Amino acid sequence: MKENKDKLTRRDFIGGAIRGLSLIGLGGLSGLLVSRARATDTVWQIDPYKCIQCGRCADNCVLEISAVKCVHSYDMCGYCRLCTGYFIPEPNALNTSAENQLCPLGAIKRTFVEDPYYEYTIIEELCIGCGKCVKGCFSFGNGSLFLQVRHDRCVNCNECAIAKNCPADAFKRVPANKPYIFKGAEPKS
């Protein structure tokens, strides 16, 4: 009889396995719910002061066209005639010819304001978030162009594919009710 007690019966094995799986499932469900709750409270954003304009935002996003786009802080902008975010380093003329533009997609519009000032506007439909203009502005200008995750596009993955590959650790979770990190003055809503 003693020997029988030590034996693992099929019933015991199946019962134990079901109890074990139930516990794992319950734990997993709780974890999922907790992480979902956290995800709805926070969203991904780029800290523009950490960003090094490496170009990875353009093609590391799970979306076909990245949720990251260039944005412009107009109150920081110098409205320069020679904008280093718009022009290649040595343009043959300061005009809107394609060969003089830094952006390969022509995603920045240059508009004359008054001599010698020009306004620069990001054409969001064309911008893929490569950050080439941001690097030009940051390196040689005053840094009024910067990258941000646009929340009309971002699907808020739990594990952001860009954040995982960001070499500057510039991606972070921010409160969903304050989803952007602005340079310069915050725009009035």
Partner 1 sequence: MKTSKSSLITGIIIGIAIIIAVAIILRTAMTVDKKTTIGNAFIYDINELTKTDPNLIKYKEINKIKTELQNPTGIATDSNDRIYVSGDKSIKIFDNQGNIESEIKLTDYPKCLAVADDGNIYVGMKEHLEIYNQSGSRIAKWESLGTNALITSVDANKDNVFVADAIGKKVLIYDLSGNQKNSIGKFIIPSPYFDLDVALDGLLWIVNPGPHKLEAYTLDGNMQLSWGETSIGIKGFSGCCNPVSFAILPDGRFVTAEKGVPRVKVYSNTGVFESVVAGAEAFKDTVGVYNPDDTKDTRKALDVAVDSIGRILILDPIEKTVRIFISNKE
Q: How far is the CB of 179 from partner 1 (least distance, A)?
A: 20
Distance CA 150, CA 1 (A): 70
**Helical (H) or strand (E) element with 39:** helix 10-41
Q: Which of 44, 86, 118, 135 binds partner 1 (CB under 8 A)?
A: 135
Distance CA 59, CA 120 (A): 25
The region of 19-27, 29-37, 50-58, 146-154 touching partner 1 under the rule CB under 8 A is 50-58
Instruction: Check: CB of residue 108 under 8 Å from CB of residue 98.
Output: no
Distance CA 165, CA 66 (A): 14
Distance CA 17, CA 8 (A): 12
Of 140 and 180, which CB lies nearer to partner 1 in the complex structure?
140
67 binds partner 1 (CB under 8 A): no
148 binds partner 1 (CB under 8 A): no
Q: How far is the CB of 53 from partner 1 (least distance, A)?
A: 7
How many beta carbons lie within 10 A of that of residue 136, not counting itself? 21
Instruction: Check: CB of residue 168 under 8 Å from CB of residue 57.
Output: no
Q: Which of 54, 65, 157, 174 binds partner 1 (CB under 8 A)?
A: 54
179 binds partner 1 (CB under 8 A): no
Which residues here bind partner 1, judged by CB under 8 A? 7-8, 13, 49, 53-56, 58-60, 76-84, 89-90, 102, 104, 116, 128, 130, 132, 135-136, 138-143, 164-165, 183-184
